[in-house]
Structure 1
């Protein structure tokens, strides 16, 4: 009986071994007609009723597939559905290459899969094409359709769609400060296209393709960041199909906002996109107004199927009236005044100018290994002058203090990332290795008027005192230049232990000098 058991056990082990050898992954890559990898494409093995979706690099994979011939169907909105038979051999599991053509007339087939939502597609913020379900952080993506449908004017309008992230302050409506998990999202935690961006301005929402919010620690990938999370704004990209849009938004208090967005091919290998807007508005608060101009050109050069270069730039100029609201009485009471009451001076102002330029180079060595290099430059300046926060006495008298900010910043940012997929034994790996460095030069001035009283104003009875109308001369006393240099090296590996069990491990070395 013992010998029989041993024979049966040996036969069972051999059978399992043979089955495991016959079960192999089927992988490949999807391209669009312009030669770019196509992410988010639905794929189905008809015979086995198995589904998957391609990542941002166009890569897809079906696991545990026996050798044989299968019907593979690829579909995506706006592209022609393609069906082909693939012959899979255990000895030669060659990758499947599929090219989908444009089809603007009809959608031949729609496959609904749970992974198709924007919050389940690979993210720019992760620096590597990983399904968000495999990342330990909580991630939310607000797409362009939501931004457009909600007519978002400011980033706070978009962030309100994200649980756990909230607007904590606006400081006289001059900037927005966000918090998550008790931590401040300062300039260290705000990104545009993966590069840090200054938070002293209001980003233009009409230029964005999506907003990615990663909650929790992101220090391995981005270095010196607060543990609350990061916000990454992804701008609209050039397209090889011609199109465009002209819109006009009008609203209460004189809001007028025309916008344009045009894109298309310049040649078979070069595509462009340019979008811009002008915005002018008053406010429910008397004497408060805003005027801004924004333009965002970009060029995509497709050298071949493996190498591309994206050149991107934008410029924002925003001038508006700082508004600290109606203030408080004796630091405890809200004054009983009209919401249209303006407590500031008629001349106070806040002028912001911000320009960015970046170059992003992508190269695919093969279907599994990719290199991404990014260079970015940002110039930011702010000129603010006015009276500060409203803190009146019990009788409503308020001594209006002066404040002035004049700062200029220059950011230089670079990073290189190598990503790859490989296998050791039965474990699949998604590897990321990268270098990043940035240099900030900030120049700020202090003035002799800081803290000085401009005049006395009664917030309950504005006619009680005669108000000044002149603009005091502000003389610069000191100039402070603060250089900050940061650099880091990081390695991250996602181990696919099974279809449902993944392990993400990483390490980072960082340096900062100031």
Structure 2
């Protein structure tokens, strides 16, 4: 009897969130006030959902765990996978899907989403490897800026620098869905989406204190505590304090994270989760690019080191994010269930930074710089409401999902620019990082103010159908998007442009996918899916507001799960086409039209295999052939590969268990075939990096761990947008941690 589609086992338990049960081989200030008010209101409101009916039950998927082969995942009926917003097991879903568990994130000592995705095929994570102000990566050849958090998109106005982040320490798992997903999520990038699953309260007491130190003057302390407060009320408290030096000279990083949550079970059929996420980043590393001369190419002074910087001590970036949320799961009866999710975001950021306009003519060491500042604020409300209805016809089981999602964002940005005339150059051969005097810097040379109001309303329906060994997922979503931008431009205080830009878009996106279990471990699948992304701004020629970009993907593949669960593998082929791409003039980047098109075709292979009782291995490879197929401004780039897209990526990761107290791991990752610019004037050197780690269980309560990323401290360029804008890859990062679990 095949294991890949065997019926789940029913288990009774309290939690409405996914639980991971580990069978180890060896024992291995301000927000607090708001939290009290928010939780009090949330619990009062949610009590109306309470009903006195039979207990809910859980499902035991038969999938092979991705990181620890001795792990069994148990999900409640209220669990919703990122790929389908249903309880359909990700390994049984007709799409490319990855779930990276917290155990593996800790093994790799991942501090960011970018670091968490380093071993994921078709994902280029080092686009700006020295930058910490946002998560930026390419999936299947397309840029992605905004992550999802517990299934809701983190807000981004599409124009500026303020992007809320969720720290990996507060994340239970990272789920990656490849390809367009607008049939469920509306606004989404065509390459795929990344969803961070929060750590949620558990009914079993568990407490962790972690201390970590490392190079770059790293100092970190983390606390994670969970357990019951009463018979029907569980809590979780996650907190983190981190300080370190930024990779670029004179830069620093600092973070304070506070993440309390409460989960209330008024009866067996209702769960209410109130979560507050607060993050204060008083010091972050801004995106300050370097020229190709001195990084990719030798200059008269040689090459710059991995800590090269084009900024000044004056440069600064700070960000503060406050996100309370409420999630209600209601098991109405045996065929109906309802989920309500609501989140508010209040965020702000201040920046002092520089961009460059290239090297001084005739010199390969003097950089023309422009100093600027941004002051940004954002408020966002988002809610997603899902009603699931299960029923059966003569030969078919249906899981019908109806959803309504609404979000509104109000953001503002004030931008000051000193222009090139008011900003001192930087001499890379003899850099002086103390040239800027903020009191005399002529930032009023140019000013731009923007107030952006956005709203999106989406209605979606999905039918998950099962005919014996065949599973079909069909979905449609219709979105209405409205954006109004009030924009004012001034020079030396004199306003010369004052206008309102209205963007209104309406789009229907679909998905049709199927997977068939051959009863021998192999399950071939095929899918067609669509996506759209609203664009902020207008065509400088016609003055008309931009239309949303759209994309279509065709994908075929096969998944494999061996009868003994020792091997799991996925192979996929994809073909994506993105239309209405915004393109800019080479000379004046503010002059934009919407006549671009980009296609991306490729393949992905990933596999996990348990070689012996003391060794597990995971390998992956992807080939991405992205191509610019239309560009009215720059016809010479048609047929070229877009910048910041790696053609080849290969990874190998292994875990070793030599004794009952020691775990060792090692990984190798390779990226190559990335172009220096969209003119494809040159190809960046490929990079092969080695990571290692170890964990020693001192006693049942204490363990010590260590990790080294980029073991041989390779200096390399992570990516270039063009020859004036390049970013170094992360240098060697070493850390040692002491963890107490009790």
Tell me whether the two structures share a fold, i.e. TM-score over 0.5.
yes
Alignment partner of 1:412 is 2:419: no
> Of the two, which has the highest radius of gyration?
1
Once the two structures are superposed, what CA deviation does each residue of 1:419-455 show, in whole Å capped at 9, x if it has no partner? 1221011211111111111101111113252555411
Once the two structures are superposed, what CA deviation does each residue of 1:359-386 show, in whole Å capped at 9, x if it has no partner? 0011001233210011111122121112
For residues 354 and 453 of structure 1, the distance between their equivalents in structure 2, rounded to whole angstroms, comes to 33
Q: How does 1:63-462 map to 2 (within 5 A)?
A: 115-117=63-65, 123-125=80-82, 126-167=84-125, 169-170=127-128, 173=131, 174-187=133-146, 190-198=147-155, 200-318=163-281, 319-322=283-286, 324=288, 326-329=290-293, 333-335=297-299, 336-389=303-356, 391-393=358-360, 394-450=363-419, 452-462=421-431
Q: Shift of the alpha carbon at 1:328?
A: 3.2
For residues 234 and 290 of structure 2, the distance between their equivalents in structure 1, rounded to whole angstroms, comes to 50
Q: In 2, are the aligned partners of 1:314 and 1:355 still within 8 Å (CA)? A: yes
Shift in CA distance, 209/142, structure 1 to aligned 2, threshold 3 Å: same
SS state of the match for residue 253, structure 1? coil
Once the two structures are superposed, what CA deviation does each residue of 1:222-263 show, in whole Å capped at 9, x if it has no partner? 112222111100010001122211111100121001111111
Once the two structures are superposed, what CA deviation does each residue of 1:34-80 show, in whole Å capped at 9, x if it has no partner? x3468679xxxxxxxxxxxxxxxxxxxxxxxxxxxxxxxxxx658xx
Moved more, 168-177 or 315-324: 168-177
For residues 173 and 387 of structure 2, the distance between their equivalents in structure 1, rounded to whole angstroms, comes to 24
Moved more, 213-222 or 465-474: 465-474
Q: Shift of the alpha carbon at 1:172?
A: 6.2
Q: Would you tell me which structure has more helix in proportion to its own residues?
A: 1
Q: In 1, are the aligned partners of 2:8 and 2:61 still within 8 Å (CA)? A: no
Q: Shift of the alpha carbon at 1:329?
A: 3.1
1:31 to 6, 12, 15: 12
Moved more, 217-226 or 294-303: 217-226
For residues 437 and 468 of structure 1, the distance between their equivalents in structure 2, rounded to whole angstroms, comes to 45
Name the residue aligned to 1:71. none
Q: In 1, are the aligned partners of 2:97 and 2:178 still within 8 Å (CA)? A: yes
Q: Shift of the alpha carbon at 1:469?
A: 4.3
2:450 to 480, 486, 511: 480
Q: Shift of the alpha carbon at 1:155?
A: 0.9
For residues 459 and 431 of structure 1, the distance between their equivalents in structure 2, rounded to whole angstroms, comes to 61
SS state of the match for residue 11, structure 2? strand
Moved more, 164-173 or 243-252: 164-173
Once the two structures are superposed, what CA deviation does each residue of 1:308-366 show, in whole Å capped at 9, x if it has no partner? 10001111111134363653339973542344444321121011111111100110012
Q: Shift of the alpha carbon at 1:298?
A: 0.5
For residues 36 and 157 of structure 1, the distance between their equivalents in structure 2, rounded to whole angstroms, comes to 30
Query: What is the TM-score when the length of structure 2 is the normalising length?
Result: 0.53
Runs of 5+ in structure 1 lacking a partner? 1-24, 42-75, 79-95, 101-111
Query: What is the TM-score when the length of structure 1 is the normalising length?
Result: 0.75
Higher relative contact order, structure no. (Cα contacts within 8 Å, ≥ 6 residues apart):
2
Runs of 5+ in structure 2 lacking a partner? 1-5, 24-53, 68-72, 157-162, 484-742
Q: Shift of the alpha carbon at 1:264?
A: 1.3
For residues 172 and 392 of structure 1, the distance between their equivalents in structure 2, rounded to whole angstroms, comes to 21
Q: In 2, are the aligned partners of 1:139 and 1:212 still within 8 Å (CA)? A: yes
Name the residue aligned to 1:19. none
